[in-house]
Amino acid sequence: MDCNILADFRRTLYACFQKAGDALMNLADALLTETPARSLAELSLSPCFERRWPSLYEALEDAKIDRVALHKLFADQVPAPAPGQRLVLGGDASSILRVASKTARDRTYVHASNLPEGTKPVRPGWQFSTLSVLPEVHSSWTFVLKNDRIVSTATQASVMKDQLQQALPRLPQGDLPPIWLGDGYYGSSLFLEMVADLPCDVLARFAKNRVLYREPPPAPAKPGRGHPTWHGARFACQDPTTHGTPDQTGEQLDALGHRIEVACWHNFHFKKARQVRVRVIRVTRHAATDTKRDPKVSWFVFRGTQMPPLEAIPPLYARRYSLEHAYRVDKQDLLWETPRLRTPEQFERWTDVVACVRNQLFLSRDQAGALRQPWESVRRDSTPRQVRRCMGRIIAALGTPARACRPRGKSPGWPLGRARKPVMTYRVIFKASSKAKTAPKPPDKRSEPVPVVA
């Protein structure tokens, strides 16, 4: 990547910071270069941060970011796909746990991993939905397009639909429509019905207990009483007797020479979304250990107009795992979940700063090189952590568009006689199920109080 492209990106990025832009730009440069930092306050020790450490928190409290211009800047940096290729996108959600943060507003119960066996995998916190461009080979080199918080009144599916709806018109158009990859949560009829009108193909995991239906038989010439059947024969993933003959089959070998079988059935619909036509794909890996993490049989659902060849399905979906590697880099190296910020708006601004740093690393990976430790292999491709070690000299050469810090004097402090009020606390919001609840029973008349006549 040319240095001029990175310099133009940084100038446009600075213009997106409408308020407290100088402090935000210093914060982004400090996060980009200060590799030893393990807390938000330690970023103030970076030479790129010209202010004192309280300005870190003040910037996140007072800042105003033009997120529309910011997301347009991200989309403009996505290269157009080569002729005959397609843009591969991926989406997922990640949790920011805030178990003891009673003063944090709009916390919900989110998924938590690595908990003791037998406990519910949920904890209070915030959840963010991420839309990224996936690399050709699964790695941590993803390019962030949008990273939005899932508020308590929204769902993971609705936020991802909005992200795709806003990002797709800004992305470069190729010969083939983009394809979006998602995990098993997005293989539901609810999400596929939401994105049915978007100019994007969808390939998602499919739970093994799902049931679909074929097209109903033609109505008889002399219909009888009632409406003809809405659904055809059942297709239950767990019941091989309902599968029938696949419409397409294929067989290939993986990188280790193990056999992989792929079968595809066409023209199915959901019981609650008859207008959404999908294809069901079954991938059988004969060398798998058939455990939860390494299943022998995996199911996928495809909705769209340009289905990839069957032999391309397994390596194509493997690119979605890049999101897991990217989340690990964001949380371990870029300190995404480390700051204990009080309000969700402050954490949203910090999330935008992390995304800006993430994309600058992506744009700089060719020119910055990689600084490897003696025990790190030189035969492997560079990682964001190794490129980040070289960003100090890159930023020093490019400079910063932020203005120099001006002394503001000493704060007058807390006014005398002003009472200190306790910070307001908030309860964790429990998202109720979308299923309709049964109507409550009418009260028993015998339990009603008897009126007393004077």
pLDDT at 226: 73
Q: Tell me if 19 sits within 8 A of 62, measured CB to CB.
A: yes
Locus of tokens 């050709």: 136
The DSSP secondary structure of 257-297, one letter per residue, reads S-EEEEEEEEEEB-SS-TT--EEEEEEEETTS--SSSS-SE
Record the pTM. 0.89
pLDDT at 450: 40
pLDDT averaged per 10 residues in sequence order, the chain, 454 residues: 81 94 94 94 92 89 94 94 91 95 94 85 95 92 96 95 96 91 93 94 93 86 74 92 93 87 94 91 91 90 93 93 95 95 96 97 85 85 91 90 81 87 92 56 44 41
Rounded-to-integer distance, Cα 289 and Cα 285, Å:
9
pLDDT at 65: 96
Q: Tell me if 50 sits within 8 A of 29, measured CB to CB.
A: no
Is the dihedral angle over the CA atoms 89, 207, 162, 270 positive or is it negative?
positive
pLDDT at 434: 53
Rounded-to-integer distance, Cα 46 and Cα 368, Å:
19
Exposure b/e, 185-205, CB count within 10 A at least 16 = b: bbbbbbbbbbbeebebbbbbb
Beta-bridged to residue 110, according to DSSP, are 123
pLDDT at 308: 92
pLDDT at 447: 41
Locus of tokens 């493997």: 318
Angle subtended at Cα 89 by Cα 87 and Cα 94, rounded to the nearest 5 degrees: 165
Picking from 86, 94, 99, the residue whose alpha carbon sits closest to that of residue 133 is 86
pLDDT at 227: 75
Picking from 134, 122, 127, 124, the residue whose alpha carbon sits closest to that of residue 93 is 127
